Amino acid sequence: MGVPARGALAAIVAVTALAVYLNSFGCGFVFDDISAIKDNRDLRPHTPLKNVFYNDFWGTPMHKEQSHKSYRPLCVLTFRWNYLIHQLDPMGYHLLNVILHVGVCLLYFRICLMFLPDAASFVSSLFFAVHPIHTEAVTGVVGRAETLSSLFYLAALITYTKCCRSKRSTGWKYLILSMFFVFTAMLCKEQGITATAVCVLYEIFVVQKVRARDIFLALKSAFGGNKISPAWSGEGTKRLTALTLVTFSLLILRLHIMGSKLPVFTRFDNPASVAATPTRQLTYNYLAAVNLRLLFLPSDLCCDWTMGTIPLVESFTDIRNLATLATHGTVLGLLVTAVVTRSRQTSVILIMSLAMMILPFLPASNLFFPVGFVIAERVLYAPSMGFCMLIGYGWSILADKKCKKLVLVLLVTLLAAHTTKTFVRNYDWLDEYSIFMSGLKVNDRNAKLFNNVGHALESQGRFKEALNFFNMAVQVQGDDIGAHINVGRTYNHLKMFKEAEDAYLKAKSLLPKAKPGESYQARIAPNHLNVFVNLANLIAKNATRLEEADLLYRQAISMRADYTQAYINRGDVLIKLNRTKEAQEVYERALFYDSNNPDIYYNLGVVFLEQGKASQALAYLDKALEFDPEHEQALLNSAILLQELGRAELRKVARERLLKLLRKDSNNERVHFNLGMLAMDDHDSGSAERWFRNAVALKEDFRSALFNLALLLADEQRPLEAAPFLNQLVRFHPDHVKGLILLGDIYINNIKDLDAAENCYRRILQLDPTNIQGLHNLCVVMVERGKLGLAAQCLERAAALAPQQDYVQRHLSIVRTRISRLPPDQRDTDVFDDSFWNGNVRDRNFNNEPTNGKFLGKTDSVFANHAVVHNHIGSKQSNTDSLNNHIIHLKGPSKPARAMSGVGTETKDGQRPEQTVPELTNIVEPTTDRVFDRIISADVTKLDITQKHGSKHANSEFQFNRSAATVGGKQGIQQTKDSALS
């Protein structure tokens, strides 16, 4: 067949490979993609490029025990390139994966043409293009390591064939290029180095034309005392020497990069790896049979084959040993055929096919060293090349017989079945829920699948359903520590704290016990230590158990000195215990083990902020941004610190950082709020109003945004627009004293609704019986009603509470003068109701009080149409607010009382982002002037220290939180995924 015809066949192969994976473009990031892409800092442009060459595939430094030692920097570079172009849009990643698969199919077709007839090569390539076993390698984004490595693997084979076209000369340029491709393939995935072994066999059986039987005869004669040497060229010896040197050099380099330690896997990842003899050997050999069966019959594909998926083969009488014997018998039979056949072509095809099927599989076979899985479908991508070559060759033999039509029908049927299976299988990879549920349909003995379905439901907020799957995981694998951790975390989400603690304690009890003379650190899976952090986080919710939580963190650190999550969370507890100096030392110790962690720098910034060292705090926040320019909390808090310095040029930087946050998340109401505060600093009330309205539109109960917006409108003489926002404020926050004072002012001065105003002031006095502003203004309401006797009693009480306030004495004198001028029969004899001074008002539920209902009902209806809340984008909630003196002054006996607007803006309640982290109280004093009068009081602001939620381990086993500490959040439990990895 000519070159044009082969080109047409190649085009058909390429189009088929593309078409069968078109529906994968709509899939998201699932399973291992989360750890390798979404959570991998090495993909971010701000991360130094050199980190890619020091860290493993998942972003963990190679020297750390947590590393899986999977060194694939070139594959990570392609992910980084994807991220540079379109960040975390999955379609671009899937598109490149499919393009790589098409490229591999074309090179594979070229390889097949070296050994098979054109038709058989075409059939083999079509089978390879559509084989369902490849869906994990192509549709799963992390499978790119397989396709990229295979691309260079095939390129190495093709260039090697060019270097040895002649027995008498060597094309050294092609040989060097071939070895470069081997090196490149190995940097994409470790199995790429097996290309040199395939080249060796090609040199022996194809170039040197040594027959398998000749080697057999040579060995036989050597043992018999005779010496028979097959024909051999000196150039072949040179090439084989070069291959050997390169192979050993690459192996030494790979071992050096990996270090002296093998990766740490648990018995849940690979149960056979910790089994005794002969169970381990019997199981490993049976797994080879299972892999071959998946190539022959890919009907029940599963994304995860760990844990109890394949029970151990514990005895020689296990019937599954028959499958092992059949597999080894088949391979041995093909090898024998290659030796005894008189057809040199058949011998070469069988040898090269078996070499391409077996050699790339050896690194994942567990025969030389344990791997972190039982079966992984994606590792069969390269071995399937040899398998498909055998299928194509077998088809060509059958097609040469008499039943050509039947063979063709069977071929079309098989190709159609494989194509359909692959196309349908792609939909399983749409999201995490669908891929893990599809796994459960195949295998219900794998607790990890139950765990990961639970994680998928948990991410959707469906905690009760998630809990059911986590409990099923516990039932399937009762000693799975990760499953118990998941149960505890879900109970915590459901506010069932006692049950959560019990689950964590159960997980803790399953940890391996220390043995005398044996390193505990080396025997425990690193992520299982998260049970200490989760349990401590839960306990730390109770302020009386902080020391107990600290003990748990210290226990975890004693087991692993480099366990940075424990340092981070322990620092938070120390801050709650007001031991900020110790917290600082803990974070600095954490930096010793992880000097590139932006969260630790951020937390140190918070610690210095707690210590009142704003300049040092800002320096550490900027350092966090140096390592992660997208760090949301550092952006927000540094922007606020810059704003508080009160300099126009620094406010510009602060605004840029806030706008950067807004571009990342336009629905972040806290950012809108702080942009509003910046506008207030710049005396731009129009922009401030817009930002505040955005914040309120996004979060209707945003305390400070509601108050500051109302205050801004009132100050601009727009009280009727302010009133609805104040009503909204006190509906969600009935204890907001300053809002009640401002609302009462509007009722008196603008609405003339004395009943509603009185309700406002009585509510204030219920909350704080010593509030002079509220009490004084209540007295003014009584004056407005003409109840001078009650007003006098009220002012007398106010004067007794605040004898230093001259205006109270002056107003009391005015009222007494007016009373003295009235005839005795016109003086009211009512007694001032001071019931709000009785009882512990803090324990009351004011939402259920009748006065509250009356007050809210009336005001809502009066002002329903006076203000329009524009639906803009917004910011996160703030906690602090402040209020200036807002006192209603009596001008004299002949004039009606007027309320004077003297309310100050809320302080930057939204100064620090919300986060599920521990809390620390701190008073934030404003340092800049506002449009309104000077702030004289402030509520408490809370500072929270981050709890790192994320440990990037292979397969996303634990899903931890990704950001740092904030202000105004509540203690959050470190979220972990199943320890068996997802």
- In tens, the pLDDT along 666-702 reads 999 999 999 999 999 889 999 999 999 999 999 999 9
- Position 500: which residue type? A
Q: Kindly report the three-state secondary structure assignment for every residue of 934-945.
A: CCCCCCEEEEEC
Measured CA to CA in angstroms, residue 609 lies from 575, 915, 923 at distances of 12, 17, 11
Averaged over 583-588, what is the pLDDT? 91
Averaged over 168-181, what is the pLDDT? 90
User: Are 594 and 564 spatial neighbours (Cβ–Cβ below 8 Å)?
Assistant: yes
DSSP 8-state code for residue 23:
G
Q: Which domains does the chain have, with CATH numbers?
A: 446-510 (1.25.40.10), 775-836 (no CATH)
Checking if the pLDDT of 46 tops 90, the result is no
- Which backbone phi and psi does 101 adopt, to 5 degrees? -65, -40
In the numeric block, the tokens 């002054």 are attached to 889
- The neighbour count for residue 237, using CB atoms within 10 Å, is 12
Q: pLDDT value at position 527?
A: 76
Q: pLDDT value at position 837?
A: 55
DSSP 8-state code for residue 55:
B
Checking if the pLDDT of 731 tops 50, the result is yes
Burial class (CB in 10 A: 0-12, 13-18, 19+), 18: middle
Report CA torsion sign: 845, 850, 851, 853: positive
H/E segment holding residue 182? helix 172-188
- Which backbone phi and psi does 899 adopt, to 5 degrees? -90, 135
With CA atoms as reference, report the closest residue to 970 among 915, 922, 921: 915
Instruction: Tell me which of 184 and 520 has the higher pLDDT.
Output: 184
Q: pLDDT value at position 224?
A: 59
Q: pLDDT value at position 436?
A: 93
E strands within 366-510?
Answer: none
User: Are 776 and 810 spatial neighbours (Cβ–Cβ below 8 Å)?
Assistant: no
Mean pLDDT, all residues of the chain: 80
How far is C-alpha 977 from the chain's CA centre?
Answer: 10
With CA atoms as reference, report the closest residue to 34 among 980, 972, 950: 950
DSSP assignment string, 839-872 = S-GGG--GGG-HHHHHHHHHHHHHTTTS------
Work out the pLDDT band at 256, boundaries 50, 70, 90.
confident
264: left (phi over 0), alpha (psi -120 to 50) or beta: beta
Report CA torsion sign: 558, 563, 564, 569: negative
With CA atoms as reference, report the closest residue to 121 among 418, 389, 405: 389
Averaged over 37-63, what is the pLDDT? 89
SS3 for 119?
Answer: helix
- The neighbour count for residue 511, using CB atoms within 10 Å, is 17
Residues 193/194/195/201 CA torsion (nearest 10 deg): 140
Angle made by CA atoms 902, 903, 905, in degrees to the nearest 5: 135
Q: pLDDT value at position 867?
A: 26
Work out the pLDDT band at 233, boundaries 50, 70, 90.
confident
Q: Kindly report the three-state secondary structure assignment for every residue of 493-510.
A: HCCCHHHHHHHHHHHHHC
With CA atoms as reference, report the closest residue to 264 among 520, 34, 572: 520
In this structure, what token pair is assigned to residue 699? 């979060």
Q: In whole angstroms, what is the distance from residue 557 CA to residue 216 CA?
A: 60
With CA atoms as reference, report the closest residue to 982 among 422, 449, 598, 404: 449
Q: In whole angstroms, what is the distance from residue 533 CA to residue 569 CA?
A: 7
User: pTM to 2 decimals?
Assistant: 0.74
Q: In whole angstroms, what is the distance from residue 642 CA to residue 605 CA?
A: 13
7-23 pLDDT tens trace: 999 999 999 999 999 99
556-583 pLDDT tens trace: 888 888 888 899 999 989 988 889 899 9
DSSP 8-state code for residue 259:
-
Q: In whole angstroms, what is the distance from residue 189 CA to residue 186 CA?
A: 5
517: left (phi over 0), alpha (psi -120 to 50) or beta: left
User: Are 42 and 76 spatial neighbours (Cβ–Cβ below 8 Å)?
Assistant: yes
Q: In whole angstroms, what is the distance from residue 114 CA to residue 125 CA?
A: 13
With CA atoms as reference, report the closest residue to 966 among 926, 916, 908: 916
Checking if the pLDDT of 865 tops 70, the result is no
In this structure, what token pair is assigned to residue 224? 């018999």
Burial 88-123 (b: 16+ CB within 10 A, else e): eebebbbbbbbebbbbbbbbbbbbbbebbbbebbbb
Checking if the pLDDT of 428 tops 50, the result is yes
Averaged over 34-57, what is the pLDDT? 90
Report CA torsion sign: 814, 815, 818, 820: negative
Percent of the chain, pLDDT > 90? 47
Measured CA to CA in angstroms, residue 401 lies from 115, 341, 395, 925 at distances of 20, 19, 10, 92
Averaged over 761-784, what is the pLDDT? 89
User: Are 52 and 74 spatial neighbours (Cβ–Cβ below 8 Å)?
Assistant: no
Instruction: Tell me which of 27 and 165 has the higher pLDDT.
Output: 27
DSSP 8-state code for residue 667:
T
User: Are 236 and 41 spatial neighbours (Cβ–Cβ below 8 Å)?
Assistant: no
Checking if the pLDDT of 549 tops 60, the result is yes
Strands 898-899 and 919-923: unpaired
- Which backbone phi and psi does 378 adopt, to 5 degrees? -65, -25
Q: pLDDT value at position 333?
A: 93
92-123 pLDDT tens trace: 999 999 999 999 999 999 999 999 999 999 99
Q: pLDDT value at position 132?
A: 96
Q: pLDDT value at position 877?
A: 35
Report CA torsion sign: 916, 917, 919, 925: negative
Q: In whole angstroms, what is the distance from residue 585 CA to residue 567 CA?
A: 10
User: Are 485 and 474 spatial neighbours (Cβ–Cβ below 8 Å)?
Assistant: no
Q: What is the largest CA-CA distance in the chain?
A: 145
End-to-end Cα spacing for the chain: 49
Checking if the pLDDT of 879 tops 50, the result is no
Q: For the chain, give the number of residues.
A: 982
Q: pLDDT value at position 2?
A: 56
For the ranges 274-283, 702-711, 946-955, the maximum mean pLDDT occurs at 702-711
199-225 pLDDT tens trace: 999 988 888 888 877 776 666 666 655
DSSP 8-state code for residue 967:
B
Q: pLDDT value at position 677?
A: 92
362-380 pLDDT tens trace: 988 877 777 777 888 999 9
Find all residues with CB under 8 Å of 663, minimum gap 6, and list them: none
Q: pLDDT value at position 3?
A: 59
Checking if the pLDDT of 237 tops 70, the result is yes
Q: In whole angstroms, what is the distance from residue 345 CA to residue 211 CA?
A: 10
Q: In whole angstroms, what is the distance from residue 512 CA to residue 514 CA?
A: 7
Q: pLDDT value at position 521?
A: 52
Q: pLDDT value at position 227?
A: 56
Averaged over 156-181, what is the pLDDT? 89
Work out the pLDDT band at 733, boundaries 50, 70, 90.
very high
Strands 888-889 and 940-944: unpaired
Work out the pLDDT band at 955, boundaries 50, 70, 90.
very low
Checking if the pLDDT of 960 tops 70, the result is no
Percent of the chain, pLDDT > 70? 80
Checking if the pLDDT of 399 tops 90, the result is no
Q: In whole angstroms, what is the distance from residue 636 CA to residue 658 CA?
A: 6
In this structure, what token pair is assigned to residue 628? 């992660």
Averaged over 807-825, what is the pLDDT? 86
Report CA torsion sign: 296, 302, 304, 309: negative
598-619 pLDDT tens trace: 999 999 998 998 888 888 999 9
Q: In whole angstroms, what is the distance from residue 745 CA to residue 724 CA?
A: 14
